[in-house]
Amino acid sequence: MSQQQMVEEIKGWVYEAGENIKRKLQSPLIVEEKTNKSDLVTNVDKETEAFFIDKIRHHYPDDQILGEEGLGDHVTDFSGRVWIIDPIDGTLNFVKQQDNFCTMLAVYEEGIGQMAFIYEVMRDELLWGGKGMGVYLNEQVIKDVPNITLEKGLISVNTHMFLNNTYETQTVAMKSIGVRMIGCAGIGFKELIKGNQNAYISNLQPWDYAPAKVLMEELGLKMIALNGEPLDLRQKVPILGATPAAFAEIQTRQN
């Protein structure tokens, strides 16, 4: 199967997952707390992860799967092909707003991002693409993301990092033209990739940043862990995603 065929197959799964999620929003959600009152999981998170895992196991039985809800494998070694799934990214928004969430999936090989899918379900916006194949918003190719400076752009940030000025997040944000808090990593990165903001700063799990990393690398956008750790897909880290111009300014401020 060619890379292009594989992408088309996965796009089909993502759209099908989106339809299932929308249908399930018609019934009451079963909501549980995970680590605290704002860290939620629903039946739809779990069912969506199970849906993707079922597809992957059927078509790619030898691959490893890292899923947010833990229904995949306990991945410690990123050799071979690894699928990374965030079934509902922005579960708090999903529960409280029935909107402003994404379903996301990335495929890595030997630790290197190959293809990725960020689907904002309620807007029907699918950002997809991969290494050497370009990046698309639905059927439209994204080229030459505007290299927005800190001063000229909107920025999305994590509330706590902003409040506590962790890694100068507040200082950097207040140099921007406006601060946004959306509560969904997929949307934060999507706005950056669409050329609508200069940076996105948040504390993120691998499944929150892995899909965007693939697309951003393909487009020449920057992503690093602010604590100086490598992005090895093994742990939660403070992430900066930015245009090259904003990245250079933020690095200067932090050093």
Compute the distance between CA of residue 123 and CA of residue 214 in angstroms, rounded to an integer. Answer: 22
Binds its own copies (CB under 8 A): choice among 96, 109, 133, 203? 96
Q: Taking CA 193 as the corner, what is the angle to CA 229 and CA 98, rounded to the nearest 5 degrees?
A: 95
Structure tokens at 182: 């959306």
Q: Under 8 Å CB-to-CB from 205, ≥6 apart: which residues?
A: 68, 236
Is 88 annotated in a binding site? The answer is yes
Compute the distance between CA of residue 11 and CA of residue 205 in angstroms, rounded to an integer. Answer: 23
180 class by beta-carbon count within 10 Å (0-12 exposed, 13-18 middle, 19+ buried): middle
Binds its own copies (CB under 8 A): choice among 57, 81, 180, 234? 180
181 binds its own copies (CB under 8 A): yes
Which residue's CB is nearer to its own copies, number 43 or number 98?
98
Q: For the CB of residue 93, give the shortest distance to its own copies in the complex, in Å.
A: 8
DSSP 136: E
191 binds its own copies (CB under 8 A): yes
89 binds its own copies (CB under 8 A): no
154 binds its own copies (CB under 8 A): yes
Binds its own copies (CB under 8 A): choice among 73, 99, 109, 168? 99
SS3 state at 41: strand
Which residue's CB is nearer to its own copies, number 7 or number 172?
172
Binds its own copies (CB under 8 A): choice among 37, 58, 74, 143? 37
Annotated binding site for Mg(2+): 68, 86, 88-89, 208
